[in-house]
Amino acid sequence: MNVGVLFTGGKDSVFALHCALLNGFSVKCLLIMRSKNPNSWMFHTPGMEIADAYQELTGIPVLIKETEGIKEKELDDLKELLKTAKERYNLYGVYTGAILSDYQRMRINQVCNDLGLVVFSPLWRKDQRTYMKELKRFGFDWIIISTAADKMDHAVGKQLDAPDGVSPAFEGGEAETIVLNAPLYKKRLKVEMEVEKQDEYTQIGKVVDYAIEEL
Amino acid sequence: MLLKNCRYIITQNENRDILENKDIRLAETIEEIGDITPRSGEQVIDCKGLIAMPGLINSHTHAAMYVMRGFSEDMPLFDWLNRNWKVEDKYDYNIEYNSSKMAFQEMVSTGTTACLDMWDPDGVIEAARDVGIRLKAGYVVINDKLEEDKVKDLISKAELPVIQPHAVYTVSEEYLVKSKELADRYKVDLHIHASETREEVFECKKKTGKLPVEYLDSIGFLDKNVILAHLGWVANWEIELIKQRGAKVVHCPASNMKLATGGFFPYKEFKDREIVVGLGTDGPVSNNSLDMFREMRMMALKQKDQYWDPSIKAQDVLDTATVNGAKIIGIKAGRISQGYLADIVLLKPNIHMLPLYKNNLISNLVYSATGDAVVKTIINGRIVYDGHTDYSPLDNIKDFISLLKNFK
């Protein structure tokens, strides 16, 4: 049976990809929404400038859909992407890295329900501390690419545990991540970033150069 | 022996026929099915109102752990294993035998007629013989201990022999390969836990560069004589390898759920590729029941829910516990057909199973029945359960039970 993975290149969607593969499905595509709205509640924007690189890193075709990121209207763009993917790859369902955001989870389910796709969210309501420890232990190499929280002003470009008051997997949007290597990646990613400090809490890393290296 | 006037006979034959108000004549095998006149002096069992079905086959268990039921609760696999191992080293023949005897009595009293058991099996083999259940068992290779004389000895003692390397995380490559060589030399199957947790698969990937099934294949282990239990974290390219090599697989839904392994046994992918899928309870410490009726219900619910797909049928599940189980154990059983082993269970429909008619019979067995409906279990043409259970084995291991009771 064929599935796609809603993908950002961040730790949660990369982990969801691994679950899809290890659940025995044939993963036909990585589905990437590239939003122009950095404040979108639906889609992660940091690091999306290198969306094309994921095909080479994972060996799985990437489908990208641009969206203005306008609240609720962005769901129509998501629907279009999923519809194309379903038709092209005869998809049965999609995997997501949703952990605790019902805003994302329910909207994805709404769109998939309309299209006749089932949704697998293997991280849903899992213990975030355990998950973060396992990522490290299992060899997921990730760094923070943007922050939006107190006490994280030097975090971009590093792999850091969440400070007190920040949700352990940054589920409150306190930080976004980018995965450089993972157990089932075919190649490794190397990035060079420039960090833009937008306000006291917000720092956005922009990938200005990247390389794909053999393992 | 003649089973007269069976209200229903679930044959599990090619057409999955269900017969009504028919008779079964049997000796060690099934001789005849139909309207049969008793011979003079023949033992006749009145089966009016009863359901006759093939004995259930438990394709992965650890019977000797019966006495440890309820000992290690509410913890993940590796903590669970470590706690169990602290007391398992106290096991001796007496504990093995008596604990297994209780487990086998539980099995036959709930309709199981054969099982594949993973444990150092001297006492287990003896207990199975005394209870009358069919047992596939053999040497367990763990922590790189492999005594060839003992392997040979057990192959000669076991009714259905097997060699059992525990898992890729407890047995080195050298000993996995040795196990395979011995299995090929003695023409027996291999039985191994595989891809049970994501920890196991990612650790294996880190250590070997491959996922567990890929790794087993790369060292020449994966083959048609291999039975893989669990497979909650298996990739589709590994499923292809299982298909290509002709290995068989076993689903243990209750145990995986209880140990919270978070996996996804891809039944539909296996079925689509015609890979033989059996069903197992796993041991009584991780399930904690050995009742295959309850396990069938678990499998059906788990599979439907995980795939968002109700089309996985009660009939599919019954097949895993009967005809497929027989292929895994390696016996001509799992059906009520002429020439098949006379391993038959008689059930008296109880309140959980009503109303009952031909079209809902399989569903009611899988979703509603428990082993409590079993009134007689026949193995090899002999009644091994007739409503009576012998609890005395527990008295013989009182000291060990005290140890468990007081264990901190």
pLDDT in tens, B10-51: 999 999 999 999 999 999 999 999 999 999 999 999 999 999
Are B199 and A134 a contacting pair at CB < 8 A? Answer: yes
B303 vs A40, more confident: B303
Q: How far apart are CA B1 and CA B191, in angstroms?
A: 35
Cis bond upstream, residue B360 (ω within 30): no
Report pLDDT for B74: 94
Quick one: average pLDDT of A28-33?
Answer: 97
Query: CB count, 10 Å around CB of A196?
Result: 12
Q: What's the rounded Cα separation, in Å, for the pair B50 and B345?
A: 10
Considering the segment(s) B2-54+335-385 as one domain, its CATH architecture is Roll (2.30)
Q: Is the link from the previous residue into B310 a cis peptide, with omega within 30 of 0? A: no
Measured between beta carbons, the chain B residues lying within 8 angstroms of A136 are none
- Fold classification of A2-214 is Rossmann fold (3.40.50)
The beta-carbon neighbor of A23 closest among B211, B264, B308 is B264
Q: Which residues of B touch A23 (CB under 8 A)?
A: 233, 263-264, 266
**pLDDT level of residue B65 (50, 70, 90 thresholds):** very high
- Res. B87: pLDDT tops 90: yes
- Token pair, residue B141, equals 């290779």
Confidence of residue A150 (pLDDT cuts 50, 70, 90): confident
B211 to chain A, any CB pair closer than 8 A? The answer is yes
What is the C-alpha R_g of chain B? 21
> Are the CB atoms for B342 and B27 separated by under 8 Å?
yes
| pLDDT at residue A153 in the model | 79
CB of B268 within 8 Å of any CB in chain A?
yes
- Residue A44 pLDDT exceeds 90: no
Tokens (6 digits) for B120: 């150092």
Please report the pLDDT score of residue B98 as a whole number. 98
Can you give the pLDDT at residue B140?
97
- Using the predicted structure, report yes or no on whether residue A47 has a pLDDT greater than 90: no
Banded pLDDT at A169 (limits 50, 70, 90): very high
pLDDT of res. B324: 98
- The confidence score (pLDDT) of residue A42 equals 81
Domain positions in chain B are 2-54+335-385, 56-329
Burial class (CB in 10 A: 0-12, 13-18, 19+), B186: middle
**Dihedral class, residue B390 (left if φ above 0, else alpha if ψ from -120 to 50, else beta):** beta
ipTM: 0.82
The β-bridge partners of B136 are B116, B160
Size of interface A-B (CB pairs under 8 A): 53
Q: Which of residues 12-41 of A touch B (CB under 8 A)?
A: 19, 21-26
Q: Is the pLDDT of residue A75 over 90?
A: yes
**CATH class of the domain at B56-329:** alpha beta
Going by C-alpha positions, the residue among B263, B243, B240 that lies closest to residue B253 is B263
Cβ contact B403:B92 at 8 Å: no
What would the mean pLDDT of B105-113 be, rounded to a whole number? Answer: 98
Residue A172 has pLDDT above 90, yes or no: no
In this prediction, residues B367-377 reach a mean pLDDT of: 98
Are B13 and B334 contacting, i.e. CB atoms less than 8 angstroms apart? no
Nearest to B202 among A93, A126, A183 (CB): A183
Give how far the C-alpha of residue B202 lies from the chain's centroid of Cα atoms, to the nearest Å.
27
Among B355, B356, B347, residue whose Cα is nearest residue B375: B347
Pick from A26, A118, A183: which is nearest to B236 by CB? Answer: A26
Interchain CB distance below 8 Å, B201 and A22: yes
* SS3 state at A66: strand
CB of B157 within 8 Å of a chain A CB? The answer is: no
- Which pLDDT score is estimated for A165? 87
Q: Which parts of B171-238 are beta strand (E)?
A: 189-194, 226-230
What is the distance between the alpha carbons of residues B303 and B310, in angstroms, rounded to a whole number?
8
Minimal Cα distance from B233: which residue of A? Answer: A22
Distance from CA of B142 to the nearest CA of A (A): 24
Query: Please, what is the Cα angle at B213 between B240 and B173, to 5 degrees?
Result: 145
CB contact under 8 A, B199 and A25: no
CA gap A151, A148 in Å, rounded: 10
Whose structure tokens read 């090899």?
B380
CA dist., res. B135 & res. B155, Å (int): 12
Higher pLDDT, B161 or A39: B161
Residue bearing the bigger pLDDT, B128 or A164: B128
Whether the pLDDT of residue B127 is over 90: the answer is yes
Distances (CA, A) of B282 to B252, B258, B259: 6, 11, 11
- B residues 221-260 closer than 8 Å to A (CB): 233-236, 238-239
Q: Stretch B137-142: mean pLDDT, rounded?
A: 96
pLDDT of residue A104: 85
Q: How far is B211 from chain A (nearest CA, A)?
A: 9
pLDDT on residue B119: 96
pLDDT at position B181 over 90: yes
The per-residue pLDDT for B335 is 98
- State mean pLDDT over B164-185: 97
| A183 in reach of chain B (CB within 8 A) | yes
What is the average pLDDT value for chain A, to the nearest integer?
A: 92
Mean pLDDT of chain B: 97
Q: What pLDDT score was predicted for residue A40?
A: 79
Task: State the average pLDDT over residues A13-26.
Answer: 97
pLDDT single digits (tens) A126-143: 889 999 999 999 999 999
> Distance (Å) from the C-alpha of residue B195 to the closest C-alpha of chain A?
9
CA distance A27 to chain B (A): 9
Provide CB contacts within 8 A for B84, sequence distance 6+: B65, B68, B71, B72, B285
pLDDT band of residue B396 (cuts 50, 70, 90) is very high
Burial B24-55 (b: 16+ CB within 10 A, else e): bbbeebbbebeebeeeeeeebbebeebbbbbb
Residue A1 has its nearest CB partner, among B199, B206, B269, at: B269
Query: Is B209 part of the contact surface with chain A (CB cutoff 8 Å)?
Result: no
Question: What pLDDT, on the 0 to 100 scale, is given for residue B405?
Answer: 94
CB contacts of A122 in chain B (<8 Å) are 262
